[in-house]
Amino acid sequence: MRKLFLLFLVVSFGLLSISSRKGNSDPVNQLVIIANNPGPLISKDIYGHFSEHLGTCIYGGIWVGTDSRIPNTHGIRNDVLYALREIKVPNLRWPGGCFADTYHWKDGIGPPEKRASIVNTHWGGITEDNSFGTHEFMELTRLIDCDAYINGNVGSGTVREMAEWVEYLTSGSDSPMTRLRKENGREEPWKVRYFAIGNENWGCGGNMTAEFYTDLMRQYSTYLNNYGENRLYRVACGPSDYNYAWTETLMKDPGSRARFQGLSIHYYSLVDGWNNKGSATEFGEREWFRTMNSNLRMDEIIKGHKAIMDRYDPGKTKGLVVDEWGNWFDVEPGTNPGFLYQQNTIRDAVTAAVHLNIFNQHADRVHVANLAQTVNVLQSVILTSDDRMVLTPTWHVFRMFRVHQDARLLTTDLKCEEYEYQGSRITALSASASVDNEGKIHVSMANLNPGKEITVTCPVIGAAIKTVTGEILTADRMNACNTFEKPETVKTVQFRGFKMKDGVITVTMPAKSVVMLEVETK
């Protein structure tokens, strides 16, 4: 009924405004916002991040150790801490990624000098001293004030090892594991919200079939207890990309469905496939277009997996956990190919906006999402070099979009022109809107066209507008980025490119821009 009513509003407003523009040859770009009928909660956890033992994400990027000359709190660098707090990171996933299915947590507890080392076989083959382990990670989440998302080891671990990790972390009873935790300096159990049962077990996590993994997941999950008041949100390893068969296998069996709360999915955007990822900074419009095209596929991928989940779980009790997403380019020249270090430009900022708008729009099913990765790896929000730090354009988008966290999704209807490049076409705009618990409406939009300003009218239905303010992120070049020498080339500024009349906001979006509007209503 609610859907029908909204459809009626959207269609009637659309027809009205299109007919009023008859004779005008400009493309009709219109974003109708229905303000008085809020939809599902946009979980703050859609704005999560991912920090793997990979390259210099953990060692150097987050963890410098207590003896470092780089200012730190309990070994965690302060500049990174402040930057993560500012974007309100809601949850942080650790220790991998592929690394997770090689990680044995007991090697990372106890006196640092006594910890066993580990060779990071997936990422660069370097030897890590395990100085960053469970206690250090939990301290990081405390300092950022976010939920812990821990990824357990199915590929090379045991059921007992995983069960004991959960017990060590969250149990308040007297047991060998809790005594060990206390010996290591932590009296009280921690709270752990998210716990994943393996990572990419169809690939680096054990090369399993969906059937084999499903059986293992049922077994492992059986022993992941909820201790005291801690309630685990168990994440089963889901598919990547368009692997719908994997989702079907996990969802169809009630005995399997009963053992997890969320199903992960991984999707990375690539310019020309895995063998030709292209440079993060040296690119032309062809690569820009193909990146945007690849980004937009996230929507159809989510829709495909959602359709399967809807069949088996119409009540939407199981979440889709997009715990790895982002642009994957070639590493920066001269850096270790196993470290996945890439620069970040305004192209990545538009990518982030497109994804976050898609996740918002699917808030009924997408409970969690984690950008890959936090610092110095893939589409990171932060880059560091020794004691220097720079905030990437992607960081700025997360700062702008934090207002959507735990707000309610508003129904929107976007009709817009296409962005055409050499005969191929994609949508030129991306958008979503929400209303927070103070009644403020936030509208986030991105202009995917790097060469054309676009004007879009935004009728706000069901609310009387009092004031509108805005912020914008844009740049003069497609590959503009922030460097250690020039850290503020791409940054947000106040946005004045809009007009307001009779309940309609007319916004002029510069080429390659991300805009956030805040609308106060009467």
Q: Can you give 101-118 as a three-state secondary structure string? A: HHCCHHHHCCCHHHCCCE
CB of 131 to ligand AHR, least distance (A): 21
User: One symbol per residue from 185 to 224: x for binding ligand AHR (CB under 6 A), - otherwise; what is it?
Assistant: --------------xx------------------------
CA-based radius of gyration for the chain: 23
How far is it, in rounded angstroms, from Cα 298 to Cα 310? 18
390 is a contact residue toward ligand AHR (CB under 6 A): no
- Name the residue nearer to ligand AHR (CB basis): 134 or 199: 199
Q: Which DSSP category does 362 fall into?
A: T
The answer to whether 323 touches 196, Cβ cutoff 8 Å, is: yes
CB of 291 to ligand AHR, least distance (A): 17
Of the residues 136, 200, 287, 471, only one is catalytic, namely 200
515: part of which helix (H) or strand (E)? Answer: strand 513-521
Q: Which of 42, 46, 98, 511 is close enough to bind ligand AHR by CB under 6 A?
A: 98
97 is a contact residue toward ligand AHR (CB under 6 A): yes
CB of 122 to ligand AHR, least distance (A): 7
The dihedral through the CA atoms of 489, 269, 59, 141 has a sign that is: positive
CB of 462 to ligand AHR, least distance (A): 42
45 is a contact residue toward ligand AHR (CB under 6 A): no
200 is catalytic: yes
Query: Strand pairing partners for 242?
Result: none
Q: For residue 27, is it left (φ>0), alpha (ψ between -120 and 50) or beta?
A: beta
229 is catalytic: no
357 is a contact residue toward ligand AHR (CB under 6 A): no
Query: Where do we find the tokens 């430009």?
Result: 345
- Which structure tokens are listed for 100? 């997770």
Q: Which of 39, 55, 90, 96 is close enough to bind ligand AHR by CB under 6 A?
A: 96
Of the residues 136, 164, 324, 471, only one is catalytic, namely 324
372 is a contact residue toward ligand AHR (CB under 6 A): yes
Site residues (CB under 6 A) for ligand AHR, limited to 470-509: none
Backbone phi and psi for residue 54, each to the nearest 5 degrees, phi listed first: -150, 125
Question: Per CB under 6 A, which region of 106-114, 216-224, 349-357, 370-378 contacts ligand AHR?
Answer: 370-378
How far is it, in rounded angstroms, from Cα 430 to Cα 435? 18
CB of 331 to ligand AHR, least distance (A): 12
Question: Per CB under 6 A, which region of 35-43, 95-103, 167-175, 494-502 contacts ligand AHR?
Answer: 95-103
Backbone phi and psi for residue 34, each to the nearest 5 degrees, phi listed first: -95, 110
Instruction: Determine if the peptide bond prior to 203 is cis (ω within 30°).
Output: no
- Which structure tokens are listed for 289? 């277009």
* Residue 382 identity: I
Where in the sequence numbering do the catalytic residues fall?
A: 200, 324
Residues that bind ligand AHR (CB under 6 A): 52, 96-98, 199-200, 324, 372-373, 378
